[in-house]
Amino acid sequence: MKDTFKHRGKRNHLVEVIQQKGIEDKRVLEAISKIPRHLFMDSSFEDHAYQDKAFPIAANQTISQPYTVARQSELLEIQADEKVLEIGTGSGYQTAVLIELGCKVYTIERQHELFKKTKLFLPKLGYRPKRFIYGDGYKGLPEEAPFDKIIVTAGAPFIPKDLMAQLKVGGLLVIPVGEKQQTMVRLERVSDKEFKKENFGAFRFVPLLENKNH
Ligand code: SAH
C-alpha cells in the first residue's frame, strides 16, 4: 500500500481536471487531493487511477468517476459533524471523501463481497465510518435516523420513500434517478411534509438493486 510522489503528482493533475469541469468547493478538491484513489482499485488499473473515469471493482460494480464523486459531495453541502447516510459503499472511495469532509458516515452495501473487503480496507487508511452495514439501501437505516444528509451512489429507478422519511427537516438527499441514464436530483426537506426538488444534469451509474446479495 504505497502512496508515492508520482501518485501525488497525478492526483494534483486530477484535481485540476475536475476543477476545470466545474467543481468549486475547495474542501472537496482538497479531499480528492489527499485520498490515494489507486489503493481503492485493483492493482491492474493502478496506472489509470488518476484519470477522471469510473473503473470496475469486485462483484461487477464500479468505483465512480472522480468528477461524479466530487459533484455529489459538493451538492451535499457537508458541515463538520453532520450525520450522513451513504447508500452503495462500493470501493469506499466516496466514503473516504465524506470522512475527509468531517462528517459521521453510516454506509450500506448490498454486495457481501464488497462489504467485507471495504470494511477491512478503509480503516487501514485511517478512514472509520460510524457504521458499516451489509443490507438493502432502499430501506435506509431507520434505527439511526434522522440524517442531515443522504447520498445514493447507484442509479435509482425512483426516489425511495424510506430515504425521504429518514431525512431531517432542512436536510438534503442527493440521488441519481433514472434507468439507463440518470439525472442528479437533490431533494431538500423543507418541512415535515414538503420537499424541494432540483436537477443537476445527466450521469451514468450502476443500478440500485433491491435486497441483499450473497
Ligand atoms: N461510491 C462507490 C460506488 C460504487 S457503485 C464507489 O465509488 O466505489 C454503487 C454501489 O452501490 C455498488 O457497490 C452496489 O453494489 C451498491 N448498491 C446497489 N444497490 C444497492 C442497495 N440497494 N443497497 C446498498 N448498496 C447498493
For 139-195, the pLDDT digits (tens) are 999 999 999 999 999 999 999 999 999 999 999 999 999 999 999 999 999 999 999
Query: Does 22 fall in a domain?
Result: no
With respect to residue 140, please indicate whether it lies within any of the assigned structural domains: yes
Mean pLDDT of the residues in the chain: 96
The answer to the question of residue 199 being in a domain is: yes
Quote the ligand 1 centre to 5 CA distance (angstroms): 31
Atom of ligand 1 nearest to the CA of 211: 22
The answer as to whether 105 is a domain residue is yes
- Residue 45: what pLDDT? 87
What is the distance in A from the centroid of ligand 1 to the CA of 12? 27
- The one-letter amino acid at 33: S
| Residue 5 within any structural domain of the chain | no
For residue 177, tell me if it sits in a domain. yes
CA distances from 92 to 129, 139, 140, 167, 210 (A): 10, 20, 18, 22, 20
Atom of ligand 1 nearest to the CA of 114: 13
pLDDT band (50, 70, 90) for residue 126: very high
Task: Indicate which residue's Cα is closest to atom 6 of ligand 1.
Answer: 63
CB burial string 159-185: b at 16+ within 10 A, e below: bbeebbebbeeebbbbbbbbeeebebb
Nearest CA owner, ligand 1 atom 5: 62
**What is the distance between the alpha carbons of residues 129 and 116, in angstroms, rounded to a whole number?**
14
Annotated catalytic residue, options 33, 43, 44, 64: 64
pLDDT at residue 109 is higher than 90: yes
Helices 5-20 & 66-76 angle (0-180, nearest 10): 60
Q: What would the grid cell of residue 17 be?
A: 481536471
What total of structural domains would you count in the chain? 1
Domain of 188 in residue numbering reads as 54-203
34 is a domain residue: no
Alpha carbons 120 and 193: distance in angstroms, whole number: 39
Is 211 within a domain?
no
Residue ranges lining ligand 1, Cβ < 6 Å: 61-64, 87-88, 90-91, 93-94, 108-111, 114, 136-138, 153-154, 206, 208-210
At 61-92, the pLDDT tens digits run: 999 999 999 999 999 999 999 999 999 999 99
Query: What DSSP character marks residue 51?
Result: S
CATH number, domain containing residue 138: 3.40.50.150
| pTM (2 d.p.) | 0.97
64 is known as an active-site residue: yes
Question: What value does the mean pLDDT take over residues 36-46?
Answer: 92
pLDDT tier for residue 53 given thresholds of 50, 70 and 90: very high
